[in-house]
Amino acid sequence: MKCDCKHQNSDLSKLGPILSAYAGIPGSLITILQQAQEIYGYLPMDVIYHIAEATGNTPAKVLGVATFYTQFRFQPMGKYLIMLCDGTACHVNGSEKIAAAISEYLGIGSGETSEDGLFSLSIVACLGCCSLSPVMMINEDTYGSLTPEKALEILKEIKDKEESDT
């Protein structure tokens, strides 16, 4: 089944070596999807359709597997991934207010990417930094004892740095 995904034009030739390596190997769909996501940074629909065709699966089955696992993304990720903890300690200490402030400032919700492509927001169950609650990570950096104002200040600093670098 061919994909009529006119809005996407992924370089599908990049999948060739992966599809060849796993051709005819039962149970390899998740591995193929993981490697495809490494190549493209997410799973575009034309890639889903191409994998379905190459593996002899229906696009519905491939998409069903991909949507079942939270590791798979269907939108490009921002340059900065904000992981905001909503574990018990963070929740009790105000992570909901921080999430609301970030969402309003960036115009996105959890699982979305800002229009400028700079930020992606992910509300996560626990970052394992309870003593710093409420806490967020942006890429590899951890920020603790947050307030909505402090979180926005951090995002504004990153945004200002990006704008001055361009």
pTM: 0.70
* pLDDT tens string 63-79: 999 999 878 988 888 99
The answer to whether residue 47 scores a pLDDT higher than 50 is yes
* pLDDT tens string 78-131: 999 999 999 999 999 999 999 999 999 999 999 899 999 999 999 999 999 999
Rounded Cα gap, residues 83 and 97, in angstroms:
15
What letters, b where the CB count within 10 A reaches 16 and e where it falls short, cover 135-147? bbbbeeeebbebe
112 strand-pairing partners: 121
The answer to whether residue 142 scores a pLDDT higher than 60 is yes
Q: Which helix (H) or strand (E) holds 64?
A: helix 59-68
| DSSP assignment letter at 131 | G
Query: If we measure between CA atoms, which residue out of 78, 96, 87 comes closest to residue 148?
Result: 96
Taking the CB of residue 66, how many other CB atoms lie within 10 A of it?
Answer: 22
* Domains along the chain with CATH numbers: 12-68 (1.10.10), 80-165 (3.40.30.10)
Rounded Cα gap, residues 130 and 126, in angstroms:
8
Q: Which helix (H) or strand (E) holds 88?
A: helix 88-92
Cis peptide before 134 (omega within 30 of 0): yes
38: CB partners within 8 A, 6+ apart: none
| DSSP assignment letter at 14 | G
Q: One-letter amino acid identity for 82?
A: I
